[in-house]
Amino acid sequence: MRKSGHIPRVYLDAALGVGDIITLDDAKRHHLGTVLRLGTEAPVTLFNGDGHEYAAHVDHADRKRMTLAVTAQHSPERESPLSITLYQAIARGDRMDFALAKAVELGVTRIQPVFTERGKVKLEGSRLEKKQAHWQAVAESAAEQSGRLVRPAVAPALPLAETLSDGAEGDCLQLMLAPTATGGLASITRKKCIALLVGPESGLSDTEITEATRTGWQPITLGPRVLRTETAGMAALAALQTCWGDLAG
């Protein structure tokens, strides 16, 4: 049952405008109508990544069809001034879901899953396609729940070696979490575009660290303790947003 006073937020991959009547797909109709039990006139907030939010209400609802009427457009400021791409080593099961969801909540702009030498997850073919769709759904749900105005894209998973040169695009600062690094964020010169590389449970290999460093990635440490892969990215993103983004208050 929907909590009293809570207005559901829904991401739609479609143009939105005041006065539009939107017909929901079966998955979103089921979630709003069956899971949340929304009926006619129930309020809903929509967003599509254009930087706005749209007030709407249920215009029609039955077992087979639900439509929403868009009534107003708002432009809140909820996106960080930092553009952060997270290069996340693919972790097992719930750990990966957790890492992606928290990254979205903490304002990441884009997520690039990467296969690493010490990574223990092997995916290919249809299994990888299904997992890719699942990861994007995790990001979408996190964006809806956290009040994001965009749904960060989860790029197709690639071997780390094929992505190392991408981090420098747009003159981004390339940061690589490495326990053996000697410097932390305090030693970094601020930029508005950041690429952050987080290794797997067993860490990046010496070869990967060497190659990443050669292509411009700067090793940094988050302190004296060893963090799990799903914790490390979350901690680094929180630190970046606190130092240079929108968590400083």
Q: Which domains does the chain have, with CATH numbers?
A: 9-74 (2.40.240.20), 83-243 (3.40.1280.10)
What is the chain written as a DSSP string?
-PPTTPPPEEE-SS---TT-EEEPPHHHHIIIIIIS---TT-EEEEE-SSS-EEEEEEEEE-SS-EEEEEEEEE----S-S-EEEEEEEP--HHHHHHHHHHHHHTT-SEEEEEE-TT------HHHHHHHHHHHHHHHHHHHHHHT-SS--EEPPPEEGGGTGGGGGTTS-EEEEE-TT-S--GGGSPP-SEEEEEE--TT---HHHHHHHHHTTPEEE---SSPPPHHHHHHHHHHHHHHHTSS---
pLDDT per position in the chain (249 positions), as tens? 344 458 999 999 999 999 999 999 999 999 999 999 999 999 999 999 999 999 999 999 998 999 999 999 999 999 999 999 999 999 988 999 999 999 999 999 999 999 998 887 787 888 889 999 999 999 999 999 999 999 999 999 999 999 998 866 678 899 999 888 888 888 888 889 999 999 998 889 999 999 999 999 999 998 888 888 899 999 999 999 999 999 876
Q: What angle do CA 119, 181, 244 make, to 5 degrees?
A: 95
On whether the CB atoms of residues 57 and 69 are closer than 8 A, the answer is yes
